[in-house]
């Protein structure tokens, strides 16, 4: 009985080896045939993705393969062998199925996925604190483009805590990451505590100062809208009519002047309430005729 089992196992192993050999022969034949076709049609062989590759995905023979490609239109940085493309490389940017694997989208040999690898020369990554409101309700995601707005108190001795001003600090700034999420294929809203922005050195200095001076808010803009402009600093007076304050104790309401008006010697003008009619007596009245003038006066009761 034991000899029969050993014999059965041996046959199974033999058949398995034959199946593996035939499969390898088949795929090797297909690869050789495709290479011959490429040579005949003056095509080149480059590496493309067979499935979607996210940021940090390791390249292997399971997710990339060689395909025929017109020799006169090979993308710059394309790999022509699987050994080059899969030598311990990871994706630095999302790659869709069928897309050529380019050296600019993957790390070097034995490399790892780092944010610095995605930064162009001369650009910096700077993180700022945000909230659900400052982050546009969680709709700001990696790959978006935003404007950065600073809201702070108006400087000056005459300014109160409610005297605010807002300034557009930076325009059309790419968002590299929200919290620790760097994959720009993640499009679902998510509230984060920090936003990492791609800026130059001066932009990083502006953000460093702004975070100490007031509150930063992100304004989401169209990715294709790269138009920049000069935006004036706005104050609370630009929201509408002049600000009206209630008096401290029974006095007329006054319009508060901005600090720059006080500095220029322009004093606030009080708003006087309209005169109210004199109270009328509810008791008995007497009509008095003096020439052609007729008037009525109330009578007071004496005791």
Report, as an integer, the average pLDDT of 38-47.
76
**Least confident segment among 138-142, 240-244, 278-282:** 278-282
User: Is the model more confident about 61 or about 191?
Assistant: 61
Name the average pLDDT for the chain. Answer: 78
The pLDDT-based confidence of 263 (bands split at 50, 70, 90) is very low
Which residues are CB-contacts of 272 (< 8 A; sequence separation ≥ 6)?
A: 252
Residue 196 pLDDT > 90, yes or no? yes
% of the chain residues with pLDDT over 70: 70
* Residues 176, 200 contacting (CB under 8 angstroms): no
**What is the pLDDT at residue 262?**
47
The pLDDT-based confidence of 282 (bands split at 50, 70, 90) is low
Q: Which of 115, 130, 92, 107 is closest to 180 using CA atoms?
A: 115
Q: Please, what's the b/e burial string for 259-291 (b: 16 or more CB within 10 A of its CB; e: otherwise)?
A: beebeeeeeeeeeeeeeeeeeeeeeeeeeeeee
**What is the pLDDT at residue 100?**
94
Residue 27 pLDDT > 80, yes or no? no
**What is the pLDDT at residue 216?**
93
Which residues are CB-contacts of 99 (< 8 A; sequence separation ≥ 6)?
A: 48, 49
pLDDT in tens, 66-95: 998 888 888 999 999 999 898 888 888 889
Q: Which of 67, 110, 61, 66 is closest to 89 using CA atoms?
A: 110
**What is the pLDDT at residue 63?**
94
Cβ neighbours around 178 below 10 Å, total: 23
**What is the pLDDT at residue 264?**
47
User: Is the model more confident about 27 or about 286?
Assistant: 286
């Amino acid at each position: 009985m034991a000899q029969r089992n050993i014999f059965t196992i041996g046959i199974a192993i033999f058949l398995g080896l034959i199946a593996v050999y035939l499969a390898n022969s088949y795929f090797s034949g297909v690869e050789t045939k495709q290479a011959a076709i490429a040579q005949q049609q003056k095509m080149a062989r480059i590496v493309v993705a067979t499935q979607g590759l996210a940021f940090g995905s390791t390249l292997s023979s399971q997710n990339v393969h060689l395909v025929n490609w017109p020799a006169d239109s090979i993308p710059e940085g394309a790999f022509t062998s699987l050994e080059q493309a899969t030598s311990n490389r990871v994706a630095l940017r999302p790659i869709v199925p069928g897309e050529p694997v380019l050296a600019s989208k993957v790390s070097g040999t034995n490399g790892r996925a780092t944010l610095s690898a995605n930064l162009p020369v001369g650009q910096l990554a700077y993180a700022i604190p945000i909230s659900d409101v400052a982050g546009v309700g969680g709709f700001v995601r990696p790959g978006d483009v935003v404007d950065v707005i600073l809201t702070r108190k108006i400087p000056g001795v005459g300014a109160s805590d409610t005297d605010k001003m807002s300034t557009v600090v930076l325009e059309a700034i790419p968002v590299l990451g929200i919290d620790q999420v760097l994959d720009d294929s993640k499009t679902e809203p998510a509230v984060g505590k920090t936003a990492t922005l791609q800026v130059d050195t001066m932009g990083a200095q502006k953000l460093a100062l702004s975070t100490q001076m007031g509150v930063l808010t992100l304004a989401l803009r169209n990715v294709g809208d790269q138009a920049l402009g000069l935006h004036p600093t706005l104050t609370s007076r630009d929201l509408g009519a002049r600000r009206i304050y209630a008096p401290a104790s029974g006095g007329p309401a006054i319009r508060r002047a901005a600090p720059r008006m006080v500095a220029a010697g322009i004093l606030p003008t009080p708003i006087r309430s309209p005169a109210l009619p004199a109270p009328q007596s509810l008791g008995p009245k007497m009509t008095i005729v003096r020439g052609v003038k007729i008037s009525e006066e109330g009578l007071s009761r004496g005791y």
